[in-house]
Structure 1
Amino acid sequence: MYKYTDFFLFSAAYLFILINPEKRGEYKKLGPYLAGLFGLLVFMPVILWNINIGFASFSFQAGRVGIASLRPKYFFQSLGAQIGYLFPFYFFPAAYLAFKSIRKIKEKEIYLFSALFGSLPLLFFWGASLYKRGLPHWP
């Protein structure tokens, strides 16, 4: 699934340029468009392969996080599994620093940059875990 989560990296980069007034001028340059085109070219084998197999890979991944009824219990199970299974000594300091940094987003652009790159995948997978049981290694 890693090739699909790269979407969040591109989204975060473009969103950073859009949100940050000092960086908005980058959209007048060729760089962001070339980067997007390069990313599409690199991802093109995955797209072509999926076309040839009837988008089975996309369907499989979408089926893993498909919408069912809202089940907050799954979210808490997923979060607990992540804390206990992957980050027993890392999660709480990281969460503390993340919340502390969010308050400083307007002070330095690196905080906004980091928040976007870290939060988009987390929000997606945490949102998906509200409907289907997540796996601890997803985000």
Structure 2
Amino acid sequence: MKDKNKILAGLVIFIAVITLPFWFNMGKAAPAPELELTAKAKAAKVCVMPTEYMKAEHMQLLDVWRHNVVRNAERAFVNPEGKLFDMSLSNTCLDCHSNKEKFCDRCHDYASVRPYCWDCHIDNPKGE
């Protein structure tokens, strides 16, 4: 019986210690950053895919684009609305979202991710 109480007390202490960071940080998460769109992006009003899709899936889309361009020499992307785009990070995406610090970096820093896009692509292809 004595051992049962010790084990139970040990489990309660263990669970309390393990969950302490969650209790300490509850409600303190930083809100997602607001993105600053360029005048061109605001004027276009439409991205290659819907905004919610791009927020969640843009890296998968860019991976498919990279594969199709490099492996299959395909350069054309047709979105669900039937609009044609060039599969190009530098000439399509960065044409509207040209300020990497105010657009890309804000979310990537918030999510603590370091994409490897910039290993090959320059972040300001038009020198703006």
For the criterion TM > 0.5, the same-fold answer is no
Kindly indicate which of the two structures has a greater share of residues assigned to helix: 1
Structure number with bigger Rg = 2
Greater strand share, structure number: 2
Q: TM-score, normalised by structure 1?
A: 0.23
